[in-house]
Amino acid sequence: MKSLALVSASIASFALCSAKTITLPRDASPQVLAAEALAGPMAAVKRAFPNSPSGGYAPKQVDCPANRPTIREATSLSPNETAWLELRRNHTLDPMTSWLSRMNISNFDATSYMNGIRNNVSALPNIGLAVSGGGYRALMNGAGFLAAADNRTNNATNRGQIGGLLQSATYVAGLSGGGWLVGSIYTNNFSSVQDLRDGSKGSSVWQFGNSIFEGPASNGIQILSTANYFSTIQDEVSSKEDAGYNTSITDYWGRALSYQLVNATNGGPSYTFSSIALEPNFQSGSIPMPFLVSDGRAPGTSIVSLNSTVYEFSPFELGSWDPTTYAFAPLQYVGSNFSAGLVPSDGSCVEGFDQAGFVMGTSSTLFNQFLLQINTTAIPQTLRDIFTRLLTDLGEDSNDIAQWQPNPFYKYNNATNRNAESQQLTLVDGGEDGQNIPLYPLLQPMRNVDVIFAVDSSADTTYNWPNGTSLVATYQRSLNNTIENGTAFPSIPDQNTFVNLGLNNRPTFFGCNASNLTGPAPLVVYLPNAPYIAFSNVSTFDPEYNDTQRNAIIRNGYEVATLANGTLDAQWPACMACAVLSRSFDRTGTTVPDECTQCFNRYCWNGTVDSTPVEGNYTPAFKAGEVNLSAASSVSRTVTMSVSVSAMAATVLML
Ligand SMILES: *[C@@H]1O[C@H](CO)[C@@H](O)[C@H](O)[C@H]1NC(C)=O
Ligand SMILES: *[C@@H]1O[C@H](CO)[C@@H](O)[C@H](O)[C@H]1NC(C)=O
Ligand SMILES: *[C@@H]1O[C@H](CO)[C@@H](O)[C@H](O)[C@H]1NC(C)=O
Ligand SMILES: *[C@@H]1O[C@H](CO)[C@@H](O)[C@H](O)[C@H]1NC(C)=O
Ligand SMILES: *[C@@H]1O[C@H](CO)[C@@H](O)[C@H](O)[C@H]1NC(C)=O
Ligand SMILES: *[C@@H]1O[C@H](CO)[C@@H](O)[C@H](O)[C@H]1NC(C)=O
Ligand SMILES: *[C@@H]1O[C@H](CO)[C@@H](O)[C@H](O)[C@H]1NC(C)=O
Ligand SMILES: *[C@@H]1O[C@H](CO)[C@@H](O)[C@H](O)[C@H]1NC(C)=O
Ligand SMILES: *[C@@H]1O[C@H](CO)[C@@H](O)[C@H](O)[C@H]1NC(C)=O
Ligand SMILES: *[C@@H]1O[C@H](CO)[C@@H](O)[C@H](O)[C@H]1NC(C)=O
Ligand SMILES: *[C@@H]1O[C@H](CO)[C@@H](O)[C@H](O)[C@H]1NC(C)=O
Ligand SMILES: CC(=O)N[C@H]1CO[C@H](CO)[C@@H](O)[C@@H]1O
């Protein structure tokens, strides 16, 4: 709060300056003017959930409901999730039956198997999907996987394809760049990747050719001038300050990001994450539940997987299962002044704090760095001044912090809650503790997830390929009795083994043998980013991709998911189905079909370790040959792309 006056002063001077400066679009062609004219009426288009009571970015006080919101202990799933699961599990029956049949396991009648367990939810397979962090690379590679898994994608239900897996899943989790993907799909009413990629008239969604430094474009035409774009963002964030809330660089970052991810005027400043729970298709249990993941980190400290407090955002709640918090807050009312679990009887409730872009920004705070590359960008001087002051206030080493203030868990669970005495909850990028795949919500034993498809687009190696580091981090955490709190995880070998045995270059199953685990844990289908048809190892901090590059990386992710349409292994779709059914077979005492045994022999990590140090840099070869994408694509309408590996020197930390 110290610098509030200064910040407000500079905002005021910016407003003044923008009022007297006539800003012209970069290219005042008739198309630009037409696009601007179109942008006006769009403000009237109401999508499903711009429900912040302020009508804009700022949170607002509201009358508390008769049932005043409370913080709950993490002893069970929320009643909301439990009620929703009854609908959702039932809704997965038909798509899963259809999907398993199409995956065509030899000598196995999936339809009669599923009919046999229809009325026995505890026997049904329970599927979770997880998309890692790694900036736009992770968004695009993860999008390829979700496109392949989505029965709405053209041709995704043809022979050899895996469309329908998404419709069969109970949960979809994203973190950082993977959180942009999940957040974009869900804030746009569960749009398909194909639709988000192709956009629509007047929409700037997924147009990564215009970097967040420039502002949104529609079909290549800039809608707002860069100056107008930044002044709009500044006005929005200052409205939150004016309403009495501390802000951080994450607020600016979340706003900027939203222009690319949320298909609504100005990136939908009044869209909340909790409003996803009000979407009819979510309420009816017709679509999976989304999670975004963040870590708790106090200013001036660092974290690793062994001592991080991991927070999950669902449409219902924000909270953590870790003993270091062990509580959940109703997301819609986060921002209210909770103390010891209650909003004081003389206090009012607040809504609109959980702004969708702010939640996505909170899961990806490492990318605040983007906005701090201020010498190289078009960010106006006044905004740079604000950043400088925010950094002075919090300290340079805290430029990645999202301030969730007031702390919903203030004076709650005093004995073990690390933040019980803190008025603010500071959240950071979900990958900062090394767990760059958002497995956390899916490992909670109360969720009973059987199988997780874990898409890893981490940049662990010099040339931005994954090497299993994220799984190693989650495995290590599962061995610490204090922090794991009941979450078992399959054994995971060291990273040298990943590279030496090629476990980071093709799909690998971990935890196939349920009796070799320390507790109930899902089977993990690890799907590492690798070059199938395009170099998808672009740098985490590259902020700009033309449509050709974007589509090629999405297409590559599609090939990762289908093993190049089954050309690398015609049995792959059946093997995916075997992974889905494995725990269910155990529970129903079903003999494992022969083809599944073959699959498990081929894809399960069998405990072999080769920890010999890896010499030189890991430079994988194309797995399916670089193809002419304009001829081969179903998810892509592009020409060939060539991204040179040498241009992709690693800039980054662990993402
Ligand atoms: C969650 O459950 C509570 C209590 O039943 C209910 O009042 C609330 O409306 C539910 N929230 C959502 C988003 O469905
Ligand atoms: C389960 O879903 C089917 C349609 O797939 C529906 O007819 C049935 O009423 C649902 N049952 C429950 C208990 O929700
Ligand atoms: C996709 O799956 C859903 C859920 O089963 C179904 O309602 C829908 O018709 C399917 N769409 C396509 C294009 O197959
Ligand atoms: C974007 O929003 C417009 C207006 O609501 C809608 O017509 C269009 O289908 C949306 N596009 C996507 C990709 O969701
Ligand atoms: C977490 O562990 C790391 C490595 O041991 C240490 O540097 C850091 O200070 C610890 N952080 C907290 C919050 O305990
Ligand atoms: C185990 O977890 C606790 C809680 O996060 C942490 O304080 C402790 O340092 C961890 N143990 C090791 C060996 O890292
Ligand atoms: C711009 O870059 C120069 C040289 O790297 C550096 O000294 C200066 O602090 C930077 N300015 C800002 C505002 O970050
Ligand atoms: C936690 O401690 C505070 C005093 O610091 C106290 O007011 C509060 O009631 C305690 N909360 C609980 C749940 O015991
Ligand atoms: C794996 O990635 C980690 C994290 O970047 C790195 O420290 C390690 O050297 C890598 N090991 C191999 C074998 O690639
Ligand atoms: C089985 O469990 C042991 C002990 O945890 C572990 O060392 C081994 O790697 C596990 N095997 C597999 C295939 O996961
Ligand atoms: C879809 O599949 C059909 C038949 O295999 C093929 O002719 C067509 O080109 C495919 N469409 C796309 C967009 O890939
Ligand atoms: C299974 C398990 O160990 N649960 C513990 C998680 O942490 C809370 C808070 O410390 C304990 O109360 C649970 O028993």
Q: What is the DSSP string of 61-117?
A: EEPPPSS--B-EETTS--HHHHHHHHHHHHHHHHHHHHHHHHHT-TT--HHHHHHHH
Q: What is the pLDDT of residue 225?
A: 82
SS3 157: coil
Distance of CA 428 to the CA centre of its chain: 14
- Residue 505: predicted pLDDT: 97
Pocket of ligand 3 contains residue 94 by CB under 6 Å: yes
Q: Which ligand is nearest to the CA of 491?
A: 10
Ligand 4: residue whose CA is nearest its atom 8 = 200
Q: Which of 50-59, 305-314, 496-505, 627-636 has the weakest average pLDDT? A: 627-636
For ligand 7, atom 12, the nearest C-alpha belongs to 375
What's the pLDDT at 542? 85
User: What is the CB neighbour count within 10 angstroms for residue 395?
Assistant: 11
- Ligand 9: distance of its center to the CA of 651 in Å? 14
Ligand 7 centroid to Cα of residue 395, in Å, is 17
How far away, in angstroms, is 295 Cα from ligand 5 center?
Answer: 13
Distance 340 CA to ligand 8 centre (A): 6
How sure is the predictor about 639, in pLDDT bands with cuts at 50, 70 and 90? very low
Query: 491 alpha carbon to ligand 10 midpoint, in Å?
Result: 5
* 230 band by pLDDT with thresholds 50, 70 and 90: confident
Chain center to CA of 603: 26
Q: How far is the CA of 626 from the centre of ligand 12 (A)?
A: 51
Q: Is the pLDDT of residue 460 over 90?
A: yes
Which of 71, 72, 414, 423 for mutating ligand 8's site (highest number of atoms within 8 Å of CB)?
414
Q: According to the model, what pLDDT value does residue 625 have? A: 76
Q: Is 485 in the pocket of ligand 12 (CB under 6 A)?
A: yes
Residue 95 CB less than 6 A away from ligand 3: yes
Look at ligand 7, atom 8, and give the residue with the nearest C-alpha. 375
pLDDT attached to residue 394: 72
Ligand 10 atom closest to residue 605's alpha carbon, by position in its atom list:
13
The yes-or-no verdict on residue 206 having pLDDT over 90 is yes
Q: What band does 102 get if pLDDT is binned at 50, 70 and 90?
A: very high
Question: Which residue has the least CA distance to atom 2 on ligand 1?
Answer: 80
Distance 68 CA to ligand 2 centre (A): 32
pLDDT for residue 494 is more than 70: yes
Ligand in nearest proximity to the CA of 278: 1
pLDDT value at 194 more than 50: yes
Sketch the domain layout of the chain as residue ranges. Answer: 4-146+164-461+510-577+587-651
| Atom 4 of ligand 3, residue of closest alpha carbon | 95
b/e code 595-606 from CB counts within 10 Å (16+ = b) = bbeebbeebbbe
Ligand 12 atom 3, closest CA: 485
Lowest mean per-residue pLDDT among 12-16, 46-50, 158-162: 12-16
Question: 288 versus 400: which is more confidently predicted?
Answer: 288
Please give the average per-residue pLDDT across 275-281, as a whole number: 96
581-624 residue pLDDT tens? 999 999 999 999 999 999 999 999 999 999 999 999 999 999 98
In what helix (H) or strand (E) does residue 31 lie, and over which residues does it extend?
helix 30-42
Alpha-carbon gap, residue 284 to 269, rounded angstroms: 26
Atom 2 of ligand 4 has which residue's CA nearest to it?
263
Q: What is the pLDDT of residue 105?
A: 98
The response to whether residue 482 sits with its C-beta less than 6 Å from ligand 6 reads yes
Lowest-pLDDT range, 185-194, 300-309, 584-593?
A: 300-309
pLDDT at 39 over 50: no
Residue 337, CB-side half-sphere exposure with 13 Å CA sphere: 9
* Residue among 64, 80, 278, 282 to mutate when testing ligand 1 (max atoms within 8 A of CB): 80
Determine how β-strand 523-528 pairs with β-strand 451-456. Answer: parallel
Q: How far apart are CA 9 and CA 15, in angstroms?
A: 10
pLDDT higher at 201 or 305? 305
**What is the phi/psi pair of residue 510, to 5°?**
-115, 145
Between CA 567 and CA 154 the distance in angstroms is: 19
Ligand nearest to the CA of residue 325, numbered in listed order: 12
The pLDDT value recorded for residue 26 is 25
pLDDT of residue 370: 75
Q: Of 48-57, 156-165, 322-331, 388-397, give the lowest mean pLDDT range.
A: 388-397
- Ligand with the closest atom to the CA of 50: 4
CA-closest residue to ligand 2 atom 1? 90
| Cβ–Cβ < 8 Å for 295, 427 | yes
Ligand nearest to the CA of 466: 9
Among 42-56, 134-148, 367-381, the range scoring the smallest mean pLDDT is 42-56
Tell me if 606 CB under 6 Å of ligand 10: yes
**Type and span of the H or E element at 508:** strand 508-510
The whole-number pLDDT of residue 647 equals 24
Query: How confident is the model at residue 376, as a pLDDT?
Result: 60
Which ligand 4 atom sits nearest the alpha carbon of residue 200?
11
Supply the pLDDT for residue 40. 30
C-alpha R_g of the chain: 24
Residue 641 — very low, low, confident or very high, per pLDDT cuts 50/70/90?
very low
pLDDT band per the 50, 70, 90 thresholds, residue 375: low
pLDDT mean over 355-372: 90
What is the position in ligand 7's atom list of the atom closest to the CA of 374?
A: 14
Atom 5, ligand 5: which residue's CA is nearest? Answer: 304
User: Where residue 374 falls among pLDDT bands split at 50, 70, 90?
Assistant: low
Tokens for 644, please give them.
């040179």
Tell me the ligand closest to 494's alpha carbon: 9
The CA distance from 264 to 258, in Å, is 9
Architecture of the domain defined by 4-146+164-461+510-577+587-651: 3-Layer(aba) Sandwich (3.40)
Q: What atom in ligand 11 is closest to the CA of residue 632? A: 14
Res 203 pLDDT > 70: yes
Question: What's the pTM?
Answer: 0.89
pLDDT of 655 strictly over 70: no
Give the residue-averaged pLDDT of 32-45.
31
Pairing of strands 451-456, 127-131: parallel
Q: Is the CB of 80 under 6 A from ligand 1?
A: yes
Backbone φ and ψ of 568, nearest 5°: -85, -20
pLDDT cut 90: percent of the chain above it: 75
User: Is the distance from the beta carbon of residue 323 to the nearest atom of ligand 12 less than 6 Å?
Assistant: yes
The answer to whether 426 and 401 have CB atoms below 8 angstroms apart is yes
Pocket of ligand 7 (CB under 6 A): 374-375, 384
Which atom of ligand 5 sits closest to the CA of residue 297?
A: 13
| pLDDT per residue as tens digits for the range 567-584 | 999 999 999 999 999 999
Which H or E element spans position 330? strand 327-330
Ligand 12 atom closest to residue 445's alpha carbon, by position in its atom list: 1
Q: Which ligand is nearest to the CA of 65?
A: 1
* Residue ranges with strand state E in 361-421: 402-404
The average pLDDT across 40-65 equals 72
What is the atom index within ligand 1 of the atom nearest the CA of 84? 14
Residue 479 has pLDDT above 80, yes or no: yes
Average pLDDT, the chain: 87
The answer to whether the beta carbons of residues 178 and 193 sit under 8 Å apart is no
Q: What is the distance in A from the centroid of ligand 5 to the CA of 483?
A: 13
User: Which pLDDT does position 540 carry in this prediction?
Assistant: 87
Q: Give the pLDDT mean for 76-81.
A: 98
Residue 35 vs residue 484, higher pLDDT:
484
Under the banding of pLDDT at 50, 70 and 90, the label for residue 627 is low
Q: Stretch 134-148: mean pLDDT, rounded?
A: 98
